[in-house]
A and B are shown apart, each in its own frame.
Chain A
Amino acid sequence: MRSLRSLIFVAVVAALLAVAAVAIAQEKTLTVLCTPQEDWCVAMTQAFEAETGIKTSYVRLSSGESLARIRASKDAPEFSIWWGGPVDAFIAANEEGLLEAYQSPNAAALPEQYKDPNGVWAGVYVGALGFCSNLNVLKELGLEAPNSWADLLDPKLKGNVAIAHPATSGTAFTTFWTIVTLEADKLEAAEAGKGYEADGTPTAAAVDAAFEYFAKLHQNILQYTRSGAAPGTLAGRGEIAVAVIFSHDCVKLQQEGFKDILTTTFPAEGTGYEIGGMAIIKNGPENEAAKMWFDWALTAKAQEIGPTVNSLQLPTNPDAAVSELSVKLAELNVVDYNFQAAGKNRNAIVERFEREIAPKPTN
């Protein structure tokens, strides 16, 4: 009798588990791999769900983490579409054959430089790098807000600068490539052909020079965070003086309570910028829904969602309204950022960074 009862118990548990498994499997959802900040991911997925009725969920991972994750699950992709984060990582992913090209009808509205000619990726926003500094901490250190990349190397800033890890963060990689570009310009100015190869790729010498800069900067870094925008919070809380982040992330923090504490400055030599990319993941689930997202995310309406959650990147769709608070790219001295070359060199650079810079103790 007792054993019969326990048998029934076991059977019921097994049946319940099976029902739960089937229920989970049947629910169709579009899963977005989302790289910008959390609240923007929420706003976007909710708006898309409201508009199309397709159940949409997201997973937020930083740019480098996203790339690693797509690479890890390429035989059975978990995500349908990847939205946001510098296109460098998208180009790197495409080099490995992880993305599916899609010619969206809505991409026609975008300026040429904000989309891939083969339709592999399309830009969904643009934003420039900047320095996000805590005025109180700067005052204590007796410093002005930095106005050049060289200012970051000031020994007075030791342990008072933070940036993300280029392996996980697109922000940090964009910073690295910006320095590569500046070094290439310098070398090219000294002697033609020294800074750039014939095809416009910065030379190995320029990359080496950038590593030298980061080795020096390493002495001033408190820690390399996982996500690109996190150093901004550290600066806001007064844990550090200067964060190297995208300027829109600093403006976002200013909007959210750090208005009089943080200031945004830009390097005079020239700053880097990102094109926030979007691409369909090859062999991903829910391909049709992913294409609908792709089309939708390029519309002016979808690109006006960012400012509602203080994500003040510039839209790529010329019809979308630009917030007054956004940092206008045209007003800045931006470097000639070679996205293709950046994407192609990304893996080699982050591996070298992880080997040569990040684990070094500071003295």
Chain B
Amino acid sequence: MQKLALQRQVSQFRRIFQDPVLAVALIGVALFVFVMILLPLFSVIGESLSSKNLPLFQRYLSEPIYQTIIGNTLGLGIVTAATSTAVGFLFAFVQVKLDVPFKRLMHVLALIPIISPPFAVATAIIVLFGRNGLITRGVFGIRFDIYGLFGLTLALSLSLFTVAYLTLRGMMQALDPALDEAATNLGAGKWRIFRTVTLPMLLPGIASAFLLVFVEAIADLGNPLVLGGNFEVLATRVYISIIGLYDTSSAAVFSMILLVPSLLVFILQNYIISRSNVISVTGKPSGRPQYIYNPFVRWTLFGLCMAICILIATITSRCGTSISS
């Protein structure tokens, strides 16, 4: 049995090398992954775990200052992941389950943050909502303090909710409407269906979106650099260690501390995805998903979605404004 599997693999390899384009592409990709991802990763791990740097772990993990920074990083990750997933869920739900105008426009606006460059969103947020912001100051006349956790959550959620949106939209579209119909036939109302059928089915998707955003949020540098105020995160520590001090030891150790939660989340996420496959065995969706026509639900969600869209549009239109860091 094992021999057969081995033979199959060998023959597969042989087939790959019969097609030169595929072979070259494969070697290219393998080299790329090795040089650009594995090699730097291993050198960081190697540097951080070298005997002279081990005491640094002890120091960074035990001193209150650094515990605060680690706490800040994880806290920012969790808050951002929660808001991004909620907003992503809202957008996906409106796209799939509601019959409202401007759906196409909302979809396009939801994709914009993914292409806007780093720093742009953060600087635009300062211009709009900063202490002298066009909106906070210009419209409401208040001196609002955007620097810190709130501003960071706002900037990061706006940039990262797209990830949650795309994941969840795909899953919602793949949900079999037959399940909804079956539940309706058994006498369940829309809210009950949402609670007991839709939500449990989407749980793996929600978890996976949450974790993906979490990893992206704790690794982000541009926003904390511009909007952080005195809210320090690990990524900015790594940056200053390298760019200002060329202190590879500290940078490697900070990176390792940052890598651990990311790796844990990666493993957790793979586990969740492998479970979600079991759920989707229910089959291909048959027929179109049923829309929800309850006017209260429909227009509240639509309003929320439009409000966020306006926010995105305002911020993106301000992305050209310069403010130095």
* A interface residues, Cβ below 8 angstroms from B: 3, 6-7, 9-10, 64-65, 67-69, 71-72, 137, 140, 159, 165, 167-168, 221-223, 225-227, 229-230, 233-234, 237-240, 350-351, 354, 358-362
Contacts and interface: CB of A to CB of B under 8 A. Distances in A.
B53 to A, nearest CB: 15
A6 B66 CA distance: 55
B230 A362 contact: yes
Contacts of A226: 225, 243, 325
Contacts of A10: 20-21, 24
A165 B241 CA distance: 12
Contacts of A168: 240, 243-244
Give the 8 A-B residue pairs with the shortest CB-CB distance, closest first.
A167-B244, A238-B132, A68-B246, A168-B244, A6-B21, A230-B324, A233-B324, A64-B244
Given A68-B246, A239-B131, A351-B245, A223 B66 contact: no
Interface in B15-56: 18-21, 24
Given A9-B21, A10-B20, A351 B247 contact: yes
B113 interface: no
Given A239-B126, A361-B230, A68 B243 contact: yes
Given A167-B240, A361-B68, A237 B132 contact: yes
23 contacts: A3-B19, A68-B242, A68-B243, A71-B246, A72-B246, A159-B147, A159-B229, A168-B244, A221-B230, A223-B228, A223-B230, A227-B324, A230-B325, A237-B130, A238-B131, A238-B132, A239-B126, A239-B131, A354-B241, A358-B232, A359-B232, A361-B232, A362-B230
Given A10-B21, A67-B246, A226-B243, 10 more contacts: A3-B20, A6-B19, A7-B20, A68-B242, A68-B244, A159-B229, A167-B244, A222-B229, A225-B325, A362-B230
B143 interface: yes
Contacts of B147: 159, 222-223
Nearest to A221: B230
Contacts of B242: 68
A354 B325 CA distance: 18
Nearest to B227: A223
A6 B241 CA distance: 47
A160 B140 CA distance: 21
Contacts of B241: 354
Contacts of B131: 238-240
Looking at chain B, what size class is its interface with the partner chain? 35 or more
A338 to B, nearest CB: 23
B145 interface: yes
Contacts of B244: 64-65, 68, 165, 167-168, 350, 354
Contact of B130 (A7, A225, A239): A239
B218 to A, nearest CB: 17
A3 B68 CA distance: 59
B323 interface: yes
Nearest to B248: A72
Nearest to B246: A68
B133 to A, nearest CB: 9
A233 B245 contact: no
Contact of B240 (A7, A69, A165): A165
A222 B68 CA distance: 18
A68 B324 CA distance: 21
Contacts of A221: 230
B62 to A, nearest CB: 14
B240 A358 contact: yes
A359 B237 contact: yes
Contact of B18 (A3, A165, A227, A361): A3
Given A140-B143, A237-B132, A359 B66 contact: yes
A49 to B, nearest CB: 26
A343 to B, nearest CB: 16
B324 A229 contact: yes
A130 B235 CA distance: 31
Contacts of A229: 324
Interface in B309-325: 323-325
Contact of B20 (A6, A71, A227): A6
A90 to B, nearest CB: 16
B267 interface: no
Interface string B120-163: 00000011001110000100000101010000000000000000
B323 A233 contact: yes
B292 interface: no
Given A223-B229, A230-B325, A239-B132, A354 B240 contact: yes
